[in-house]
Structure 1
Amino acid sequence: MAATQVIRSEWTKIRSVQSTVWTLGLAVLVTLALGALISVLSKNEFSKMSATDRATFDPTFISFAGMGLGQLAMIVFGVLVVSNEYSTGMIRTSLAAVPQRGTFLFSKIAVATALALLVGLVTSFATFFLGQALLGEHRAALGDPGVTRAVIGGGLYMALIAMFSMGVAAILRSPMLSLGILMPFFFLISNILGNVDATKQVGQYLPDQAGSKIMQVVARPDDDTPYGPWGGLAIMAAWVVAALVAGYLSIKRRDA
């Protein structure tokens, strides 16, 4: 089967499965809702902040406060895209139709990534404009230094999270096992490792800790991270490549 036919087939699969569509919608909704809430709270608390906190106030990053929760929906999307066929047994039919396993896997990932990137960019721009509107006089403008990079980076970050999840799902095959590892890792373990002094030097190189740097515009005085926004995104991209390569090797070497 030609690559274009495989891509068309994967697009049909994704849009015909309601769970994947709903998870993308949920990613948009929770990111917007939480970002709006934190923006309102930050505006109300601004007058009570210390001089240092006011000087390092990052209105752009504040509006992205919902990304941490929205990324969990992106993780679910990435896992379901790859592992649904294993849980239903349809993987045998798919591999019989497309024996070239690399073509099969990367066509699936390409379609899902394009969709995740589109949703991620729409979400990032929407949450930025909503957040800035709610921040009032404390808002940032899209043309301010570093802001456009941060907003576009937010969309890239969500797409990379989805891709990383696809790679892990290709390795583990089971949606429950994949989610059982990824959800607590990103929601709990990564935050602990990245914020505790004893483990911070390791935690700052984890995919979400490094990748989220792209969404920051104002650096804090105590921020000693040894990389910048694009460096952090590059570290995250390296994690994604490693996960996808491992996923490809797994699907190539193991039986369906």
Structure 2
Amino acid sequence: MAAAQVIRSEWTKIRSVASTVWALSLAVVVTVAVGMLLSALSNSQFDQMPVQRRMSFDPTFVSFAGMTLGQLAMIVFGVLVVSNEYSTGMIRTSLSAVPRRGVFLFSKVAVASGPALVVGMATSFAAFFLGQAMLGSHRAQIGDSGVLRAVIGGGLYMTLIAMFSMGVAAMLRSPMLSLGILMPFFFLVSNILGNVDATKKIGRFLPDQAGGHIMQVVPRVGDDTPYGPWAGLGIMGLWVLAALAGGYLLLRKRDA
């Protein structure tokens, strides 16, 4: 099957599975809603904040507070895109039609990354503008130094989270196993490692901790992160490449 036909086939699969559409929709709603809520709370409690916290207040980053939950929906999307065919048994038919497994996997990833990027960018810009509206006089402007970079970076971050999940799902094949590992890792383990003094230097190089740095505009007090925003996103990109490479190698070596 020609590459163009494979891409059309993968696009049809994504559109026809309701769960993937719902996952992307949920990513938008949760990220924007939580960001607006916490932005409104920050605005109402700003005068009661400690002086040190007010000095390092980052209105842009506050509007992205919903990313923590929104990324879970992107994880679900990434996992389902790859592992749905394993759970239904359709993977045998797909690999018979597309025996070149590299073409099969990377066509699937490329096609799924398109809507993930569109949704990620739309979510990031919506979260920023609506969040800033809730912040009142404490808001940032899109033209302020570093803000546009942070907003664009937020969309790229969500896209890379989905792609990383695709790579992990390609390695593990099972949607339940993939979600059972990725959800606790991003929601729990990474946060613990990134905030405990003994493990902070290791945690800052995990994909979400490194990639999330792109969304910060105002440095935190005492922040000694050894890389900048774009370098952090680059570290996240390396994790994505490693996950996709692992998925490809395992897909090539084993039976469907």
Determine the C-alpha separation between the residues in 2 that align with 1:55 and 1:216. 14
**Ranges of 4+ aligned residues in structure 1 off by more than 2 Å:** none
CA drift of 1:50 comes to 2.0
CA drift of 1:52 comes to 1.6
Determine the C-alpha separation between the residues in 2 that align with 1:27 and 1:220. 27
Structure 2 equivalent of residue 4 of structure 1: 4
Structure 1 equivalent of residue 78 of structure 2: 78
Amino-acid identity (%): 75
Return 5+ residue gaps in structure 2 as ranges: none
Structure 2 equivalent of residue 53 of structure 1: 53
Secondary structure in 2 aligned to 1:73? helix
Aligned residues: 256
Secondary structure in 2 aligned to 1:60? helix
Alignment of 1:117-156 (within 5 A): 117-156=117-156
1:112-158 CA distance string (max 9 Å, x none) = 11110100000000000000001010000000000000000000000
Secondary structure in 1 aligned to 2:30? helix
Determine the C-alpha separation between the residues in 2 that align with 1:27 and 1:81. 15
Residue type of the alignment partner of 1:143? G
1:251 corresponds to 2:251? yes
CA drift of 1:221 comes to 2.4
Structure 2 equivalent of residue 62 of structure 1: 62
Residue type of the alignment partner of 1:80? L
Determine the C-alpha separation between the residues in 1 that align with 2:73 and 2:220. 29
Structure 2 equivalent of residue 91 of structure 1: 91
TM-score scaled by length of structure 1: 0.99
Determine the C-alpha separation between the residues in 2 that align with 1:59 and 1:190. 24
Secondary structure in 2 aligned to 1:219? coil
Secondary structure in 2 aligned to 1:110? helix
**What is the RMSD of the two structures over their aligned residues, measured on CA atoms?**
0.5
Secondary structure in 2 aligned to 1:205? coil
CA drift of 1:210 comes to 0.4
Determine the C-alpha separation between the residues in 2 that align with 1:223 and 1:90. 48
CA drift of 1:222 comes to 0.6
Secondary structure in 2 aligned to 1:103? helix
TM-score scaled by length of structure 2: 0.99
Determine the C-alpha separation between the residues in 1 that align with 2:203 and 2:22. 31
Determine the C-alpha separation between the residues in 1 that align with 2:8 and 2:73. 24
